[in-house]
Amino acid sequence: MNDLQGCDKPNFRSVKSSQVVLKELMIPSYANFGGKVHGGIILSLMDKIAYTCAATHSRSYCVTASVDSVDFLSPVEVGELVTLFGSVNYVGRSSMEVGIKVLSEDFKLGVAKHTNTSYFTMVAVDEATRKSSPVPGLILEDDIEVKRFIWGKFRKQYKRDYQARFNSLSKTIDFDQEIKNLQNENCAVNIAAARE
């Protein structure tokens, strides 16, 4: 590959120019009934950093179009310092995939644990027309940035394929048969009682 492939294109921006690090102390009001930090607090911080990265790259108002699965690998405790790293991995015409890594640090032990990683798809939107609007291209400056772009491109394709497969599968489901199959599942079908 030519090292300078596409780098002369106007209005392209580097990955580094929109990378963001966000730190937040986990205060007691963030706790759930079990005393750990509520998952929604972490999701809200992830949405905030995704917006910041995408709006910085595109210099535009953006919306969250989708969030990849978020697996919480370990609980976050009140009193810990959460650090989020956000970076635009991939851009299409108007969409941007922002990769987010979350670490949580226990001050007393001085150790940081990886709590989750996820990918947010943000779309630049024209505030007047409310339609999606084009975003600048991404300048990829090292191997990992190139790999992240390619992974992002495949994730976008994979999501489209998954959605298309699920839509076509859902049209072929035989619900009478599937209701019979539910006897091996952890549910009780009692439709008649609900109708009474």
Ligand X SMILES: CC(C)(COP(=O)(O)OP(=O)(O)OC[C@H]1O[C@@H](n2cnc3c(N)ncnc32)[C@H](O)[C@@H]1OP(=O)(O)O)[C@@H](O)C(=O)NCCC(=O)NCCS
Q: How far is the CB of 99 from ligand X (least distance, A)?
A: 14
- Binding of ligand X at residue 125 (CB under 6 A)? yes
Q: How far is the CB of 52 from ligand X (least distance, A)?
A: 15
CA distances from 77 to 17, 91, 173, 184 (A): 32, 34, 43, 38
**Contacting residue, 64, 83, 105, 112, with ligand X by CB under 6 A:** 64
What dihedral do alpha carbons 152, 158, 160, 161 form, nearest 10°?
160
- Binding of ligand X at residue 133 (CB under 6 A)? no
Q: How far apart are CA 22 and CA 24, in angstroms?
A: 7
Buried b (16+ CB within 10 A) or exposed e, 85-97: bbbbbbbeebbbb
- Binding of ligand X at residue 117 (CB under 6 A)? no
**Contacting residue, 22, 31, 65, 139, with ligand X by CB under 6 A:** 65
* Tokens standing for residue 113: 């644990």
- Binding of ligand X at residue 44 (CB under 6 A)? no
Nearer to ligand X, 94 or 116 (CB): 94
Best CA proximity match to 15, nearest among 93, 121, 90 = 90
- Binding of ligand X at residue 58 (CB under 6 A)? no
The binding track of 86-115 with respect to ligand X, each residue x by CB under 6 A or -, is: ------xxxx--------------------
Cβ 12 vs Cβ 58: under 8 Å: no
Nearer to ligand X, 17 or 163 (CB): 163
Question: What sections of 3-92 are H helices per DSSP?
Answer: 39-58
Please, which residues have CB within 8 angstroms of residue 13's CB and are 6 or more apart in sequence? Answer: 57, 136, 137, 138, 139
Cβ 12 vs Cβ 136: under 8 Å: yes
Q: How far is the CB of 92 from ligand X (least distance, A)?
A: 2
Cβ 114 vs Cβ 103: under 8 Å: yes
- Binding of ligand X at residue 153 (CB under 6 A)? no
Q: How far is the CB of 2 from ligand X (least distance, A)?
A: 24
Q: How far is the CB of 171 from ligand X (least distance, A)?
A: 20
Select the span of 48-56, 118-126, 140-148, 165-173 touching ligand X (CB under 6 A). 118-126
Residues of this chain that interact with ligand X (CB under 6 A) are 63-66, 92-95, 121, 123, 125, 132
